[in-house]
Structures are given as structure tokens and as C-alpha cells.
Chains A and B, each alone.
Chain A
Amino acid sequence: MIKAFGISYDLKNTYRVNGIIYSIQQIPVIKRLFTDDLYASRGLKIFANILAALWEVISTFLGKYLYLLLLVALPAGFYKGGDAKGTAMHILLFLTVIGTFMNTYMFNPTNDKYYAMILMRMDAREYTLSNYLYSSLKVAAGFLPFTIYYGRGWEMNIGLCILIPFFVTGAKMTAAWLFLLRYEKKGVCMNENLPPKFAWPLTGILLVAAYGLPYARIVVPVRAFAVIAVVTVVSGLYSLVKIIGFGKYREMYQLILADKRNSVEMNDIVKKATEEQSRKMISQDTAFTSRKKGFEYFNELFIRRHRRALWRPARRTACIAAAFITVLLAAMHINAEVKEAVNRLLLIFLPYFVFIMYAINRGTSFTQVLFMNCDHSMLTFAFYKKPEFILRLFRIRLREIIKVNLLPAAVIGAGLALMLYVSGGTDNPLNYVVLFVSILVLSIFFSVHYLTCYYLLQPYNVNTELKSATYRIIMSGTYIVCFLFMKLRMDTFVFGIAVTAFCVLYSFIASLLVYRFASRTFRLRN
């Protein structure tokens, strides 16, 4: 069994290492230094192996630390007047139950399982058991330091702190055995990617129990938790014996991994799903028509047949924003404190709206639909790539994307100005204009930004795969910059003027760049 584990670990490591080398090759500038010979380079393999080993260790511990911090410790601290220790154990109990069927390892149809058990015909039982034990050990080892760390902070009994990791693994093993039993008795196979019907509603109920009950001051007592933990560890041990004795792994995985026969590559699966999704966005109604000509005709049909994907979300965002503003206006009417707070915030909080405008902008989905349902095919036609045509269509599309995004922006901009007025106004009447205009300008900025990036970097290839690392970096960079704006507090007037000036300048330069370079850059990637 140890040998089986060694082989499967080597196998997993090989493609993890190759994955790391491939990622290195995707980084702009650096990629020029490397060729495909990289995969044969011993030094680099060792380096990537070290990275892979580091990642194994980090993911074991960091994942559990973040899990305990973000899902258990932090929320447990939020309940006013509650006992943090009791609440934390309560949350952990219910989350663990969710984990038993949503995060199983054993029933997750991964590529490494397919490669090892189906393609390379490894002994399914040995492969599964050795890897399952390893993954269970990883869960326990990953939790242990942090349950002790947090547990001591909550002044918990050290015995219970040590017990928790084994409780989690015990619960997982018990559930795994029940799923194996179900397979044996009824032939029904658990698949983590296609969980049974009850899984999602049950998850919802358990989440409500985990985070909702403490609000009503209903918490599972720590003593009861301790008893459940002990019982679970015992049942886990019993299940482990049964899991080891189970003899139908090969036939079960044949079923779980059946889909992999058609496409092992995640890319293929994602590609198929994306294509289907994109096709579904097209309205089947051919009664829509247009009286326009040429590119305007082409564009109008595109927009009309994609109204559901483009305009509906924008309308929905506008409605939600309007409702939100109405609620705030009503709250201000009822409560003077709210009025004061809103007034104060509106005069220093404009930078926050950079992130909000970023989040509601439809630019990425617009360009994605443009590519999937239009440019993906049209860019294979030579006539479509004539520079004059590229620019003509760019102008039309820029107009459309701005229009779609301006709807919610106008509601938010007008709403902010109105709230400023209702909340007590401002000494400087220009603030009303600045609030309204800067929101509109931000919306235009993001529209220009996304469409320009799309035209200058056209990141997709003929197989609709996103191939440009530069594009990814810019998209992530945009997110990070917008996120950082949330931390900024600045006088609305000053920020509004600055942001407007920046956006106008950016849009001007971006358009110039498109005019200069798009005829060369706007084509299918290889």
C-alpha cells in the first residue's frame, strides 16, 4: 500500500510540477526566457518540486487556519453577549456536518484518480485507501495546531482542543462509510461534483443552524459538543475499519469517473460549459429585426438577441440601487442620527464608490459575450479584420457598453445627490454635481477600460480559452486597485474632481491606443 501511495504521489507531483513550469511560461517577459525544453530541465524540476512540497505543507496548514479564522473564530466573535467558545464549537459542529458530504476527498472525481485508477490501471483499493488515509491525516494534522491555538484563547480544555481534529476526520469517515454502504446496498454512487438532491437544501439548513441559531441565543452546549465529538471519533474508527474492508472501489470509481472518459481536461469541460452557456444567452426569437444597415444592423441584432444577458442585469442593478436608496431615504426621514451619518459619509465616502462601480460594471460579461457569440467566429473572416471595420465596430460597441452601464450609474449618481440634499445638504452646491458626474464618469471609465483591454489584448484563442497572462494580470490589478480605494477617505469634492479628470484622460488615451494598435492586436490568439 505504501508503494501504491508512493507511485500515486509521484504521478500527482509530476503534473503538479509540470503545471508550475507551465504557469512560469505564461508570465509575460519571463516567458521569453524559457522554451519547451524546460520540462526536461533537471534543475527547474527540482525547484518546482520544492515549490510543490512547500505548497503541500502550506495548503495543509494555511487552509485549515483560514477556515477556522474566517468561518469559525471571526463569526463567533460577532455575536454580542454570546460566549465565543460555545458559539465557535456550535458553528464548527454544523460546518463539519456540511463538510462530511460536500468535501469528501473520496467521492471527488479528480483527474489524478482517473489517471491512476482508470488509465494506468493501478489497484483501486490500494490507491484509494492510501490516499484517503493520507488526506485524512492531512486534515487532522492541519487542524491540530490551530484548534490548540484558538482553543487556548477560548480557555478550552486541552483535551477537547486535541480531540477536535479527530472529530472532524471521524465525521468525514463515518459519512464516507455511509456513502459506501449506500453504494453497496442500492448501487447509488456519491459524486461530490454532482451531490444528491438533498445536499444543497441540507447545506442551507445547516448553515442557518450554524450561524442563525446563535443569534437567537440557541447554542449547542460545549459539554454536548464534547460528547458528540467522542462518539464521532469512535464511529469514525469503526467506519475506518469498514472502509478498509470495502471491496468495490474499482467498480465504484468506474462510475464516478465515467465522465472523464470524454474529457479529462478541465479546460475542455469548462469550454463546453461556457459555450453552451453562451449559446443559451441568445434569444431564440428571430422576429427581432433591424432596419439599419451594415455594422449598425449587425450590432443592433447582437444587442437585441442578447438583451437578457446585457440589459436585464443592468436593469436589475438599477432597481436594487433604487430600492436601497429609497430605504435609506425613509430611514433618514425616521431617524435623525441616520441622516447625520449619511451626510457625513457622503462627503468623504466617494472613493468607496470606485469599488462599487467596479463591482456592478457589466464590462467583463459584455466583452465575454462579444467574444463567445460573435468575435470568436467573425475573427476567422478576413473582411472582419480590416482596420476600418475594426474601428467602426469599436465605436459602436463602446457606445453600447456605455449605455448599458450608464443606467445603474445614473440611478446611483442621482440617488447620492438626492440623499445628500435630504440628509441636510452641503455648503458647496457643486458637491451635488460632483457626486452625480463622478459616478457617471466612473461608469464610463470602466466601460472604456474593459472594451479597450479587450481590443488591445484580445485574450481568447479559437478554442475560446483565455490565453493572455497580461490580460489576467490587468484584470486582477483592476480589482486590487479598486479594492484599495475602499480604504481611502477623501473629501468628495476633491476626489470627485480628481477622479473625473483621470477618467477623461484615461478614456482619451485608451481610445487613441485602440485607434493606433487595434488593427494589429484584435485577432484570435494562438
Chain B
Amino acid sequence: MEFIIENLTKSFGTKEVLKDITFTFESGKIYGLLGRNGAGKTTLFNCVNKDIKSESGSFYLDDGKKEEIKPEDIGYVLSTPTVPAFLTGREFIKFFIEINEKSITGLRPIDEYFEMMNIEIGDRDRLLKDYSHGMKNKMQMLVNIIARPPVLLLDEPLTSLDVVVAEEMKELLRGLKSDRIIIFSTHIMELALDLCDEIVILNHGELEVVDKYDLDNTEFKDKIIRALKEEDDD
């Protein structure tokens, strides 16, 4: 399966943030999206998720047959997790399952999902407004695990998690990557190198793969930094 972006352009005022981007992502891989502050990583995600309008651009899924992507094909986990504050963890998952019951396959009991995410029994019936940042993040991930959308966008999701939760989430993502496309935006290089199968740079509104070939991590890191700098010096 492939996720295809074609001719995506987005400007804010006179500033062109995304310049006619055409790119193909393949399933089974975690893509690390790197870019400097303000490069447009979140804008790219927002365009893909149709949260903002772009001037031009189409998004397709190609699983032998190329079709325009539907909202439910995309799971989007934001850096600041937002979950409905007035529901308990269990109520939220129950609601989510009920309204998506037609599209969810291989449904399991709710508690099994909580166990998968290491959410304690005592926390499952607490209001989400009282959840910690990490737990809210887990809930957002959980929804995407249940729905199994083919494309998963993660906007710096591990940046503000404690080390234990961050490690748990990394393991989870590695487990999820088969038969789906995960695009993971970050500006922490080590995280990208540790977790991702491909590194994609967003700079000057363009996407570009940085090939690793047979470089070791330090050499690869230098290459990425050079790529970011070179383009910056243009």
C-alpha cells in the first residue's frame, strides 16, 4: 500500500510554506519527518488531515487501486493531546467503538485495550480531564490502534512524555507499523534515527528523502544536518 501526496501547495500570506509537494510513502515503514522550527511540519499534517485548506493538492491511497483518501483513513496524534474532558477513559472508548462499529475489525474487550496501553485499572473510570499528559497521549494512540487507519500522522508525540511512557510508545509504534504508513514528525534527531526507517526532510517547502546507504549513525546524522544547512544556505 502507498500513500501519495500530489502537488500540495500551501501559503500563508505571501509565504509559501509547502511548494508543490509530490511524495509517495510506503506501508510497513515509519517515516521520520525532520525540519527546522517553522519549516511547516504541522502545516503539512494539517493539510493532509484537511484541518486547513491548501491551495492545491490531492491525497491518495494506492492498494492496487488508487483512491482518494477519506477522513477515516487518517489517524492524527497531536503533540498536545486533546481528549474530551467530560468522559471517563472507558466511556470515551465505548463511545468510539459504538459509532465506528461498522468499520472496526477484530474488536477486543475494552479492558484488553487498556492493558495493551498500560493504563491502570483505577484510572480507567476516571474523567479524562484528570489524566496526565502521557495518559491522554496514550488514549489518543489507543483510538488509532482500535480504528487501525492505514495512515498515522504523529506530530511530535513523544517530546513531552516521561522516559518510561516514551519507551512504551516507541515499542507500540514499532508493533503497529506493519501494513500501515506512520509519519512521525520531530526535531529530535536521535529519536528519528532510533525509531524511523526513513528520514524525510521538510525544508523550504519541499520534501526530500535522506538516504542512509551504508553510513553509520554519526555519519548519517552529519549528512542530515548538512542537508538541512545546505538547503538553508541556498
Interface check A302, CB cutoff 8 A: yes
Cβ B71 vs Cβ A386 within 8 A: yes
Cβ A373 vs Cβ B85 within 8 A: yes
With contact pairs A377-B85, A523-B51 given, residues A382 and B71 touching in the complex (Cβ less than 8 Å): yes
Interface check A217, CB cutoff 8 A: no
In the complex, A302 Cα to B87 Cα: how many Å? 8
Contact with B14, one of A37, A295, A373 (Cβ below 8 angstroms):
A37
In the complex, A505 Cα to B30 Cα: how many Å? 53
Provide the residues of chain A in CB contact with B87, threshold 8 Å.
Answer: 298, 301
A279 — nearest CB in chain B belongs to which residue?
B129
**CB proximity of A253 to chain B, nearest CB, Å:** 32
Interface check A306, CB cutoff 8 A: yes
Cβ A383 vs Cβ B99 within 8 A: yes
Provide the residues of chain A in CB contact with B143, threshold 8 Å.
Answer: 381
Contact with A377, one of B13, B71, B82, B147 (Cβ below 8 angstroms):
B82
In the complex, A381 Cα to B77 Cα: how many Å? 9
With contact pairs A282-B127, A286-B126 given, residues A378 and B13 touching in the complex (Cβ less than 8 Å): no
In the complex, A306 Cα to B85 Cα: how many Å? 11
Q: Which of under 10, 10 to 19, 20 to 34, or 35 or more describes the interface residues of A?
A: 20 to 34
**CB proximity of B18 to chain A, nearest CB, Å:** 14
Q: Which residues 41-91 of B have a CB within 8 angstroms of A?
A: 46, 49-52, 71-76, 78, 82-88, 91
Q: Using an 8 Å CB-CB cutoff, how does the interface string of B178-217 with A read, 1 for contact, 0 for none?
A: 0000000000000000000000000000000000000000
Cβ A373 vs Cβ B98 within 8 A: no
Interface check A35, CB cutoff 8 A: yes
Provide the residues of chain A in CB contact with B83, threshold 8 Å.
Answer: 377
Provide the residues of chain A in CB contact with B51, threshold 8 Å.
Answer: 523-524, 526
Interface check A374, CB cutoff 8 A: yes
Provide the residues of chain A in CB contact with B95, threshold 8 Å.
Answer: 294, 297-298
In the complex, A377 Cα to B147 Cα: how many Å? 17
Interface check B118, CB cutoff 8 A: no
**CB proximity of B64 to chain A, nearest CB, Å:** 23
Cβ A36 vs Cβ B14 within 8 A: yes
Provide the residues of chain B in CB contact with A383, threshold 8 Å.
Answer: 71-72, 96, 99-100, 147
A306 — nearest CB in chain B belongs to which residue?
B86
With contact pairs A35-B14, A286-B126 given, residues A382 and B74 touching in the complex (Cβ less than 8 Å): yes
Provide the residues of chain A in CB contact with B49, threshold 8 Å.
Answer: 382
Cβ A373 vs Cβ B86 within 8 A: yes
Q: Which residues 84-135 of B have a CB within 8 angstroms of A?
A: 84-88, 91, 94-96, 98-100, 125-127, 129
Cβ A293 vs Cβ B98 within 8 A: yes
Cβ A385 vs Cβ B71 within 8 A: yes
Interface check B28, CB cutoff 8 A: no
Cβ B127 vs Cβ A373 within 8 A: no
Cβ B84 vs Cβ A373 within 8 A: yes
With contact pairs A279-B129, A298-B95 given, residues A35 and B13 touching in the complex (Cβ less than 8 Å): yes
Contact with B84, one of A36, A295, A377 (Cβ below 8 angstroms):
A377
Cβ B82 vs Cβ A376 within 8 A: yes
Q: Using an 8 Å CB-CB cutoff, how does the interface string of A291-318 with B read, 1 for contact, 0 for none?
A: 0011101100110011000000000000
Provide the residues of chain B in CB contact with A294, threshold 8 Å.
Answer: 95, 98-99
In the complex, A342 Cα to B127 Cα: how many Å? 51
A residues neighboring B (CB under 8 Å): 35-37, 278-279, 282, 284, 286, 293-295, 297-298, 301-302, 305-306, 373-374, 376-378, 380-383, 385-386, 389, 462, 523-524, 526
B residues neighboring A (CB under 8 Å): 13-15, 46, 49-52, 71-76, 78, 82-88, 91, 94-96, 98-100, 125-127, 129, 143, 147, 149
Apart from A37-B14, A382-B49, A389-B99: 7 A-B pairs, beta carbons within 8 A: A35-B14, A294-B98, A298-B87, A377-B83, A380-B78, A382-B76, A526-B52
A sample of 19 cross-chain residue pairs with beta-carbon separation below 8 angstroms, ordered by A number, consists of A35-B13, A36-B15, A37-B14, A278-B85, A279-B129, A286-B125, A286-B126, A294-B95, A294-B99, A298-B87, A302-B86, A305-B86, A374-B84, A374-B86, A382-B72, A382-B73, A383-B71, A383-B147, A523-B51
